[in-house]
């Protein structure tokens, strides 16, 4: 008795699933960038450097 070969069933919905996934990915990207989660992050770091005076010249 021979083993049966696998049966492949094509439903034709692969393109529809791919299009839905692309639309969801674009919507998620727009949400993250427009919501400020990934782009235009304003961290607001202020750096104040200490004042350093030059040493006095050495005279002999």
The model's pLDDT over 23-57, given as tens digits with 9 standing for 90+, comes to 999 999 888 877 766 666 666 788 898 899 988 88
Is a pLDDT exceeding 90 seen at residue 16?
Answer: no
* Residue 40: per-residue pLDDT: 61
Q: Which of 44, 22, 25 is CA-nearest to residue 33?
A: 25
Q: How far apart are CA 41 and CA 35, in angstroms?
A: 10
**Joined tokens for residue 46:** 């202020």
Confidence grade of residue 12 (pLDDT, cut at 50, 70, 90): confident
**Residue ranges per domain, the chain?**
12-38
Q: Give the H/E segment covering residue 34.
A: helix 14-34
Contacts of 39 (CB under 8 A, 6+ apart): 32, 33
| pLDDT for the residue numbered 41 | 64
Q: Is the model's pTM score more than 0.75?
A: no
């Amino acid at each position: 008795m021979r083993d049966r070969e696998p049966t492949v069933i094509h439903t034709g919905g692969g393109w529809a699933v791919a299009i839905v996934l692309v639309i969801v990915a674009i919507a998620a990207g727009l949400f993250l960038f427009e919501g400020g989660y990934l782009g235009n992050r304003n961290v607001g770091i202020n750096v104040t450097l200490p004042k350093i005076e030059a040493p006095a010249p050495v005279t002999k």
